[in-house]
Amino acid sequence: MFILSSYGLAVVFTVITMLCWGSWANTQKLSARNWRFELFYWDYVIGVLALALIFAFTFGSVGEGGRGFLADLQQAEMSNIGSALLGGVVFNAANILLVAAIALAGMSVAFPVGIGIALIMGVIVNYIAAPQGNAVLLFTGVGFVAAAILIDAIAYGKMGGTKKVSFKGIALSVIAGVLMASFYRFVAASMSDDFVTPEAGKMTNYSACVIFALGIFLSNFVFNTVFMKKPVEGEPVTYRHYFAGDFKTHLMGVLGGVIWCVGMSFSIIAAGKAGYAISYGLGQGATLVAALWGVFVWKEFKGASKQINMLLGLMFICFFVGIGLIIAAGK
Number of domains in the chain: 1
Give the 3-state DSSP-derived string for 161-201, with helices as H, strands as E and coil as C: CCCCCCHHHHHHHHHHHHHHHHHHHHHHHCECCCCCCCCCC
Is residue 1 assigned to a domain? no
Q: What is the DSSP letter of 203?
A: B
The candidate with the shortest Cα–Cα distance to 14, out of 264, 210, 194, is 264
CA-atom Rg of the chain in angstroms: 19
The candidate with the shortest Cα–Cα distance to 52, out of 272, 221, 258, 192, is 258
- Whole-number pLDDT of residue 55: 97
- Whole-number pLDDT of residue 165: 56
Residues 6 or more apart whose CB falls under 8 angstroms from that of 315 comprise 148, 151, 152, 155, 288, 291
Domain coverage including residue 188? 7-329
Residue 232 and residue 173 in contact, taking contact as beta carbons nearer than 8 Å: no
Is residue 297 assigned to a domain? yes
Is residue 213 assigned to a domain? yes
Q: What is the DSSP letter of 293?
A: I
Q: Give pLDDT tens digits along the chain (331 positions).
A: 999 989 999 999 999 999 999 899 889 888 878 899 899 999 999 999 999 999 999 999 998 888 999 999 999 999 999 999 999 999 999 999 988 887 777 666 777 788 889 999 999 999 999 999 999 999 999 999 999 888 988 887 787 654 555 688 889 989 999 999 999 999 999 999 999 999 999 999 999 999 999 999 999 999 999 999 999 888 999 999 999 999 999 999 999 999 999 999 999 999 999 999 999 999 988 878 887 887 888 887 788 899 999 999 999 999 999 999 999 998 7
Is residue 117 assigned to a domain? yes
Sign of CA dihedral 79, 81, 83, 86: negative
The candidate with the shortest Cα–Cα distance to 245, out of 5, 39, 96, is 39
Is residue 303 assigned to a domain? yes
Residue 205: count of CB within 10 angstroms of its CB? 33
Q: What is the DSSP letter of 204?
A: P
Residues 6 or more apart whose CB falls under 8 angstroms from that of 55 comprise 206, 209, 261, 265
Is residue 2 assigned to a domain? no
Is residue 245 assigned to a domain? yes
Residue 284 and residue 183 in contact, taking contact as beta carbons nearer than 8 Å: no
Q: Which long-range contacts (CB under 8 A, 24 or more apart) does 32-37 make?
A: 32/245, 32/246, 32/249, 35/245, 35/249, 36/231, 36/234, 36/237, 36/241, 37/99
